[in-house]
Amino acid sequence: MQRPTRRRAAGAAATTLTACSLFAAATLPAAAMTVTFIRHAESQGNASGYIDTSTPGPHLTNDQVNQNGGPTGQQQAQDWANAQCPTAQCTKYDALYASTMIRTQETAAPFAAKRGLNVTVLGAFDPDHPQRNSGVQEISAGIFEGIPEGEGIGRIGYILAPLAWTMGLQFLSVPGGENGLEFNERVTNALADVESGTTDTNGDGEIDAAVFSHGATIMMWTMMNVDNPNLMLFAQHQLNNTDTVVVEKNADGSWTLKEWAGQEVGAANYPTQMFVNVRDLIVAPQKAIYNMRIPVLSLDAQGIVTTGAQGIQDVAQAGVKFVTDSVTDTVNAITGIPGSIGKSTSQVSKVSTLNVAADNDTPAVGNPAEGAKTAVENVTADATTEVKKVTELVKPTTSTVRATNGATKLTDGNKAEPGKAVSAVRDRVNRATDEVRGEVESSARQARETVKKLTGAVKPGKADKSDDSKPKQKTKDAA
């Protein structure tokens, strides 16, 4: 008589454990991917002083010393490899990638030999996807190909359009070369291949890849995509041969710059945050129009409708994201909230915006994964609502400060003299902070209650066995 009872108890425990595991998996962010870009060593093109972006391009230099009395390209590549792997046992990086150009592959070779890994070429022609734009090769110089790099109009003309790309004007083209939309698409696609083709081979619990590429490609793509760009780095420290740039892909798909030529890069300040918000807003319609080119030129009616609808949706989402991020970043700059609930403003706004329109209906009983997902979406949506409430509370008082002092002061070094207006802001913010904390805690309790109901409603032995209730394994294709 005890066996059925024990079986039921065991089944209930297993169901509860499964639901809790799924809920934990839904609430934890995905593991971040770190990419280390390495600019190639000195090439024969560098030594010549002329712009050379042709593929496959020249080899590394291999004389006793280069024209400046320093190491040649092949020696630079060997020195870099030795610095990364000073001992016999080398486990740095999970995978190695290079562009279609010879100089990057030759730069990667010494380190690949020490690490014991193959070098995967990004951007090689794929017969199964002939239209796919992918690669980390150098930005095409167009009409400036073969012009002296350090003098005359060549250097300015070649780099002018790419600099505009970093400010969001991606529709501009290097004369005779590619535009920013094409460039950004191919590098982003290549990094998607890196992500799908890289696993944790060194056992450190992280995914980190080394990508051997080119100076302009590394600098421009980084500044076009990270959430903490610093355009002054172009003037302060352009990348030399074998210099590195480290970027990290976040759980929400955004990128953060971590290191530039060995120097750590901090988080974005308020002006940079607003710059990124504007940049991303103006890129969205450009990208939507760019994506229409294939169906329009192919006279694909269905493709035109589908791509057009997707473009309209993307532009609308970019507009909503711009407003949400700008308001939240401004509130954060003035008040320092919502740090009190354990998250940075950018985390709350940028993740929550994507979930506001999520379906909040109660999932079918017996599918704890869907229940956990819905619970998390409810929490993030509520957090976004509360940030908006804070904004409304702060807004009228901010206007009062402007009227009294002439301008709103955002930094400690520029604060106006303490007065009634500033005190009013502080009081309102304190009240708003308490309200945000209370509402978010209430939402968290609701999420926990949802999980409890789901686990209690699933009867032992009759859990949903459909494919949708099982964790799906991600297939990683070779790059």
Task: Supply the residues annotated as catalytic.
Answer: 40, 138
The beta-carbon contacts of 17-23 under 8 Å, at least 24 apart in sequence, are 18/368, 18/463, 19/368, 19/371, 19/372, 19/451, 19/454, 19/455, 19/458, 20/451, 20/455, 22/368, 22/369, 22/372, 22/471, 23/368, 23/371, 23/372, 23/375, 23/451
Closest CA to 75 of 88, 63, 85: 63
Which residues, listed in sequence order, are joined to residue 212 by a DSSP beta bridge? 38, 98
Whether the Cβ atoms of residue 227 and residue 329 lie closer than 8 Å to each other: no
How far is Cα 391 from Cα 436, in angstroms, rounded to an integer? 11
Helices 270-291, 301-335: axis angle to 10 degrees equals: 180
CB-CB neighbours of 394 under 10 Å: 20
How far is Cα 140 from Cα 163, in angstroms, rounded to an integer? 14
Closest CA to 398 of 371, 378, 421, 367: 421
Q: Record the tokens describing residue 257, joined without a space.
A: 């710059």
